[in-house]
Amino acid sequence: MLLILLTIIIVALATYLYLKPLIDNLFYSIPHEPKYIHSYRPFLGFGLEMFKDPIGFIYSLYLKYGKTFVIYLASNRWVYFYDEQTYLTKVLKSSDLSIDGFLIDLSVNGLGLRREYLSNEDIQQIILKQFHQYLVGNELEILNKRVHNSLIESMKLDGKTIQDNQTKIVNLFDHFSEFMLYAGTEGLFGHSFVTEQRNSTPDFYKLFQEFEKASVLGILRIPFRSILYKSTFENRLKFVKRFSSLKLNNGESNLIHAREELFRSDQYKHLFSEYDIGALQAAMIWVALINTAPISCWVVVNLLLHPEALEAVKQELRENIPSSSTLIYDKETLAKLKILESCINESMRRTINVASTRQAMTDTTIECIDKTKVGLRKGDMLIYPAFLKHFDPNLFGPSPYEYQYDRFVKKSNEPKAPSVMFFGCGLHMCPGRFWAINEIKILVALIIQHMDIEFINMTEKDKDDYRKRLPYDYTKFVSAGGPKKGYEHKFNIKYSYKNLGVE
């Protein structure tokens, strides 16, 4: 009897979830709504298609339905809106559309923060001002130097584990992501803090991976996640505790110092628990690494797959960093690395599925540049899928997935490469974008100068296939991805060091 009752409940719930979008369309539709595309799967909607190949799936809908259409995903309405000019000139300026509520939900669900702090507009303005003050100019140069020094230290420590004339085998993505974790952490929290983490157990990198996993589970609102993934959330707490009692004036960056003082100030300390403060500081590392680390690895992969690109970057480094006395992290030197920067932009273009999001705060209508209208219901998530532009054959040639290392190098008598959107847009454009690009440049330059690397599981056919399209993991909605499942071993490498001065 109980089994029959349970079956009836499940069937009724599935039926309700399946019919809910249709019922909503019947009773709550507003004028000028885009085409709604119904899925036959309750709750998940088109989740499977999005996990498998979001770019290909959304592109197929764009070809079939035009620039605007609606899908359901995890019981939310997602309005895809491929109209860049209208998005930049009207959507971003509309008071009816905002990203703030969406970001608050991400922080509450992903990091477990209290909504009270996140809803305080005064403190959010102070934090935004801190980002724009401490991630540019002389502060940026200090961060660059710290990243460089940390990467050199990681290489030297690693080099000591390799005997004379021997090579070491690792996974490229794990290896250099760990390097970048320590480099980013040293940039923000200082050398003493990083030295402590290098010598602590559990392993700092493994705890960071668990922190990221727990955050993603929260953002996706996986049911019973704290029970099903108990150890993951326990490890997240361990990672957060590493940041809960920071010692000030211990080599931390001015940004971290200012944040810590703000969180513990008499005016605002009532808003924060010790967990909140630790999570907010730990999140700085997560935000700094979730895209920078995997993108750095894809830049290296692309250079190894394209010898002509690697040689061009080597030549550029020889011209601009002729000796060890030339400081790689110097802003003038980094600015001269135009070919390397083009390689970075091209690697980002052909991998990450960039999009910009705004939420309708009320029923509203957007009048587009072409005079068409788009109706949005309160709560609708409006998505500008920049990745459609990044793979548009009309802009990037008949084979847009293929790699062209000098695509973004300005050439005389040739049209400028189409604009791209990697770091968001409007007031919420990533304030750390300059540091992110500099970190990647420094890592790649040091790898080229001091390492010999070779893929050990990648056949010539694999290389030919990856030159056409990388096996990129598009399931990482929150961050840039590495290789998709089943392809990780293809990126195992053997390597050795050179000209590093390991003693």
Known binding-site positions for heme: 430
Q: Where are the alpha helices (H) located in 82-229, listed in sequence order?
A: 84-86, 100-111, 115-118, 121-134, 137-159, 172-189, 191-198, 204-219, 225-228
| Residue type, position 419, single letter | S
Bridge partners (DSSP) listed for residue 81: 68
Number of C-beta neighbours around residue 256 at 10 A = 22
**DSSP state letter for 326:** S
Quick check: bond before 202 cis, omega within 30?
Answer: yes
Which parts are annotated binding residues?
Answer: 430
As a residue count, the chain comes to 503
Closest residue by Cα to residue 93 from 426, 422, 493, 339: 426
Helix (H, G, I), strand (E, B) or coil at 464: helix
Inter-residue contact 141 to 439 (CB < 8 Å): no
CB crowding 287-310: b at 16 or more within 10 Å, else e: ebbbbbbbbbbbbbbbbbbbeebb
The C-alpha atoms of residue 115 and residue 100 are separated, in whole angstroms, by 12
Please state, in angstroms and rounded to a whole number, the distance separating the CA atoms of residues 387 and 391: 6
Between the two ends of the chain, the Cα-to-Cα distance in Å is 74
Determine the Cα–Cα distance for residues 323 and 163; give it in Å rounded to an integer: 27
- Do 497 and 164 form a contact (C-beta atoms < 8 A)? no
- Tell me which residue of 433, 429, 477 sits closest to 341, measured CA to CA: 433
d(CA 364, CA 371): 15
- Residue 115, amino acid: R
